[in-house]
Amino acid sequence: MNRFNIKLFSILLNLILYIFISCNYEKDEIQYNLNGIPYKPGIKVIDLVSINECTLPMCDPDRINRLLLENVRAIVNKDSTLSVSLTFDSIIQFKVCGLVLNNYGIGEEVKVSGIAQDGCGYLNNVYPIEEEYFLIITKIELI
């Protein structure tokens, strides 16, 4: 009887361990903003909590890098901006650094990669914009 209990315990322990490992493994880990809202696939958090020097010029390399974008679907807007949906009624807006969007029309959908920097001092969140960043694009393509 004692051997049976040990074997049963061992099997149950291995089963629990297997379930725990398989449930917690995600190929692309979901990232969340400070309000607990999940970001879209391809958006990875770098640093959302450090305090940025808001007097730095737009797109300055000393601004804090907040997010890393990897092949994220976005919509081209006017004034060199891209928007990515966050919830059903809010968006993340990216003010693009440089003239990268000159070849794209308003309303076109693109896949973009790059670094999102803190936009304080220049960008003001106005509903439905939940978050706003400067974006240094490393890759962009029309979908």
For residue range 71-95, what is the model confidence (pLDDT) as tens digits?
Answer: 999 999 988 999 999 988 889 999 9
What is the structure's pLDDT at 3?
A: 65
Give per-residue pLDDT as tens, 34-71.
Answer: 999 999 999 999 999 999 999 999 999 999 999 999 99
Closest listed residue to residue 134, CA positions, set 121, 105, 143: 121
pTM over 0.85: no
Task: State the pairing for strand pair 65-77/81-87.
Answer: antiparallel
pLDDT band for 134, please (50, 70, 90 cuts): very high
Question: What are the residue boundaries of the structural domains of the chain, listed by start?
Answer: 43-142
Strands (E), 1-45: 43-45
Choices 1.20.140, 2.40.50, 3.40.630, 1.10.287: CATH for 43-142: 2.40.50
Give per-residue pLDDT as tens, 4-21.
Answer: 666 666 666 555 655 655
What is the structure's pLDDT at 99?
A: 81
Let me know: does 113 contact 69? Beta carbons within 8 Å. yes
